[in-house]
Amino acid sequence: MSLLLARTSASVGGGMTRPPRLIQFLALAACALAAKPIAQASITRAMDLAELTEGADQIVVADVVSTECAWDKDHRNIYSTIEINVRERWKGTIPGDGRIKIRQLGGTVGDIEMTVYGMPSFEPGERALLFLRHAGVVGMGQGKRRVHWDPIDKQWLADGPDRTRLLSVGGNGKARATKAGQSDILERLREQVRTLVGD
């Protein structure tokens, strides 16, 4: 990282000059930032399939219909509202029209973006396996698994849970990077979840 300093200086007795304190501070701050990148992650508890299933009051395979972002009433936080259309219900009750709205912190309004690292992202048209509780995703990114068709094996697959921006806390209280989740056959996941639920 290169740093460009202006030649502005303050006069010191005897005709000597030195950089003003603000420039010295900015130079030190820039060096510190260049030396050590800032980590961007959220800390949460790593959850396995059994814990996600227990923590959810609804588990569904659904298509994302739309996403909308807006400020809250106090104009302090941006929230995203994601409307989904349920294709399969694995746990819980579903409204008669099959539509559910998920609300989560973060999003973009105009030129302002509010990012919550570890939160799942949603794109209209995508299909996902979702673990939901009170209209939110359980375990942040762990509770959303993108679903796609495998044309070679002719079966639906669920990607591993997105844990790229999550840190988990171990038994010793120390935070550590969360291991990437494994993709799996959707039918196998369905059977495992229904066994856990007791269906």
In a domain, 19, yes or no: no
Q: What's residue 24's pLDDT?
A: 56
Indicate the SS3 state at residue 98.
coil
In a domain, 9, yes or no: no
pTM for this entry: 0.73
Domain count, the chain: 1
- 89: exposed, middle or buried (Cβ count in 10 Å: 0-12, 13-18, 19+): middle
Residue 60 sits in which domain range?
42-197
Contacts of 136 (CB under 8 A, 6+ apart): 102, 103, 104
Backbone angles phi, psi at 198, to 5 degrees: 95, 20
Query: d(Cα 62, Cα 47) in Å, to the nearest integer?
Result: 21
Q: What is the DSSP letter of 34?
A: H
What averages of pLDDT result for each successive group of 10 residues across the chain (199 residues)?
Answer: 34 48 54 48 76 96 97 94 97 94 94 90 96 93 93 92 64 64 88 92
